[in-house]
Structure 1
Amino acid sequence: MALSTWAAQAGLPAPVRVGKDVFQIQSPAGAFQLAAGTRVASWNGIKFHLGFALAVTNGVPFIHSLDADKNLMPLTQVNRPVPRGRGVIVLDPGHGGTDNGTKSVLGNFFEKDYALDWARRLKPLLEARGWRVVLTRDSNRPVELGERVLIAQREQADLFISLHFNSANAGAMGLETFCLTPAGMPSTLLRGPEENNIFHPNNAQDFGNQHLAMRVHRSLLQTTGMADRGVRRARFMAVLKNQQRPAILIEGGYITDRNEAKLIASPEYRQKLALGVARALE
């Protein structure tokens, strides 16, 4: 659909060209910026990833209807608080037991331990804001991916937040926040071939997923000052795709990057990560 059509339907002003095939739309929640030929867009300067690149025909920008509904529309509501419902959050520190996750470039330090510390720091901050908080693990024990989903179901959680740290080849840095890819849309991150048209249980929460992801991602960037790798989409994350509530997975930095590994090893930085998530859920 024409980008101007979506803007009108959303009650927003028409897009304005701000560069060669770069368009901006102002909303009460902030400014969207989209460029032809790329799936990377921004809201208030914060990156998110479209399913399909913006197309421009005879100077008119067109956006895929899935992106309009599943990516743009939730962001018009980002300044609204996350709905509380029963007021229950499940925090999921990644890995555990013999599953160490990623090993730090600095030595014998592991993702599983940093993620658990992050969750333990976050729990009292959320409780002080009126949430009841359940951890999928509160010790160095293994928890199957399916069990993590079942814990959220048993607790009738309103939200599910999985906490991780990242790894990659040299040069990758920054924060990224994942939510499930909507049905019919290609993912940002793949783990092998995938079918785009499969509807997973968590796809019923597409609006809430994107809303939660951007609120948390924005707050983390503001609190930590880390590089922005954007809100991204994936289907292979079992702890997300089978959830029946808004669910996100946060990568709090790269422990394979020496500079970020030093930050992650610092209790002060992990406290900033906890504060960033808590502030998003006030």
Structure 2
Amino acid sequence: MGGLGEWFWIFLMIVMLQPVLRQKMLESARLRLMHRIEEQRKSRVILLVHRQETMSLLGFPLMRYIDVNDAEEVIRAIHLTDDDVPIDLVLHTPGGLVLASLQIARAIKAHKAKVTVIVPHYAMSGGTLIALAADEIIMDSHAVLGPVDPQLGEYPAASLVKVVQEKKIDEIEDRTLILADIAAKALKQIRSEVLELLEGKMPQEQAERLADLLTQGTWTHDHPISFEEAKRLGLPVRSDLPQEFYQLMNLFPQPVQRQPAVQYIPTPYGNHKP
């Protein structure tokens, strides 16, 4: 019985350590690929990738957003980069805190060498705010950016302001009036901040038009701004995304907790299948 008990505990420890070992192997593979990309592009590669990743046997996937910890780490990486070294910042994020996103964006704008933002799939909201500060945005032809209009809890700031404009004052609750006042300030602030990031990147009139479109509630907050639309808006976008960045995203897997909805043979096909 003692022997069986020992084997049980050994098996349990292996099972518990397996996710940790798998994560370490993934991190090692990411670092190797990052080094290879840096050597090819003569740049520093910084990743800001928000995926759902299971970290333990009973771990639950958590959707992550841009927060102050992300801002601290990205800014530290920028500070460790010489002024004459270009930066490639890979963004894959639904957005996050305006404060953190703006801190990263300002650090990017202040970097003297070229900064390229890489968007393999999507960089919404705060991710787009960061991308606006870059010298160039390389995105997949099907990747998307998004509006940066402020949200107050569950309500878009622009909609709160519209309520006050369209309803009589005696028909509006005090709480709504307070929210609308905060919303008006938030709209003014984010417009000013976007103009700050766009300064020197395009003519002033074009920058103001773009700032209005992105910040003043022109679209819903989840509106996908495609590569073609970003190009029409005057953003410095390209679609020739290097293959290595797709490979990098493959090293950020989603947790496998159910039958996958998408499946294919992961090899390139030409005119004729092999």
Give the TM-score of the pair, scaled to structure 1.
0.24
> Which structure's residues are more often strand, by fraction?
1
> Which structure's residues are more often helix, by fraction?
2
Give the TM-score of the pair, scaled to structure 2.
0.25
Greater CA radius of gyration, 1 or 2? 2
